[in-house]
Amino acid sequence: MKVKGVVTGLGVAGGANDGSLKRIGVRNSDGASMKLVRDVDVTSDKIIRSAADLAINGAPPMFAEPIHVGRPNIGDHKRFLQRASNILDSGWLSNNGPIAQEFEQRIASFLGVKHCVAMCNGTIALEIATRALELKGEVIVPSYTFIATAHALQWQEITPIFADIDPATHNLDPAAVWRMITPRTTGIIGVHLWGRASPVKELEAIAREHNLRLMFDASHGFGCSLNGELLGGFGECEVFSFHATKVFNTFEGGAVVTNNDTLAEKMRLMRNFGFSGYDNVIYPGTNGKMSEIAAAMGLTNLEDLDDFVAINRRNYQCYRDAIASIPGLSMLEYDESERNNYQYVVVEVAPYFPIARDRIVEILHAENVLARKYFWPGCHNMEPYRSYYPHAELVLPNTKRVSDRVVVLPTGSALQGDAIRGIVSILGVLASGKV
């Protein structure tokens, strides 16, 4: 499905940091007014001109309160509270209620797929999808991803086999995937990291050649596209996370989407203990159901998704323009011909930058800018995989190189342009090497 683009309004004013709620106006690309998003004002009067102005050297921090990589996006309060009130009046709080069913229908329609199977969280969705696909033995995944991708396999006694990434895209390198295939391999899980699509065509070709199941972890990819088609319909299924940290959230939640009727029915059974009607269990299952209140949050936020993306896009462009003049720092760019949610502002630190990546993060934290080293040090360097594969870095050189260089900066509706330029001014001082 194609989604209409949005661009940000330009007249966004800052204000005193009094904790009041601000609103950011956004407009469609055709100039029509859109809904407004509640925005927490984050400002600072601090100007950083030299190392003496840095908090790590004793100066006050740039921001009074910590600024996280992202804050939860929350849609229209009145519409959500009305839905919540209706849920309480109905007395139907869970067990595939009418709100959850509407949510599944709306998500499937939005993504252009036949089925959305809503779940209580993205990790359970991964586990149910892999079990429904009857994966076993070994499954190839990237190490450069959130740990849940690997853990969802390990919990089911499936061995995650880590393949290297393409350093230009941060996604799986198809050639590396091909090298890791063994007689025990049953599947591949591609990850659409940062919301940028995996090499779908190449992975599909490998899966066909070796008779492997192929699915995608699309936790970062809601509202993003590949060749104009929204992520969700690739492979045998795709898994989304709707955790509070994601651009689109249901408080806590997830879903598996697919065009496979049989697979969808199987997953619906599995998320509800295997029940098929009253007192009739026909399949091994677990409790993976999404609650009505989570679905209500999802419906509300889906209606405001364009607004959230517009704010992220504004911030991404502001960072991109400001960082472009700093030697040794480069931003991971999004393909403007595709749909993007711009959820992550990803900066790579070149080897010749005078300050090491970890020191940069330390200095930013002192300013209450809680930048992150996603996804360092790679799943292969976390337990239990570190003990299983002590020499994994021999086949993961790009994973190590990228994970040692990446810094993810704050974004979301809490930030205005002045705050972003303030953050970048810190990086500009660090580029001098005189800290």
Count CB atoms within 10 A of the CB of residue 415: 28
Q: Is the dihedral of CA 177, 179, 183, 184 positive or negative?
A: negative
Q: What is the pLDDT of residues 371-403, one digit of tens each?
A: 999 999 999 999 999 999 999 999 999 999 999
Give backbone dihedrals phi and psi of 391, rounded to 5 degrees, phi first.
Answer: -115, 25
Contact 87, 292 (CB under 8 A): yes
pLDDT at res. 41: 56
251 φψ region: left (φ > 0), alpha (ψ -120 to 50), beta (else)? left
Q: What is the pLDDT, as a whole number, of residue 434?
A: 86
Where the chain has pLDDT below 50, the residues are 1-40
| Residue ranges of E strands in 90-149 | 115-119, 138-142
The enclosing H or E element of 24 equals: strand 21-24
State in Å, rounded, how far the first CA of the chain is from the last one: 49
Instruction: Note the pLDDT of residue 21.
Output: 34
Confidence at residue 416, expressed as pLDDT on a 0 to 100 scale: 86
Residue 148, token pair as written in the block: 């849940």
Alpha carbon separation from 428 to 51, 54, 66, 336, 422 (Å, rounded):
10, 12, 21, 26, 10
Domains and CATH numbers, the chain: 47-67+307-430 (3.90.1150.10), 77-303 (3.40.640.10)
Question: Given this model, what pLDDT does residue 13 score?
Answer: 27
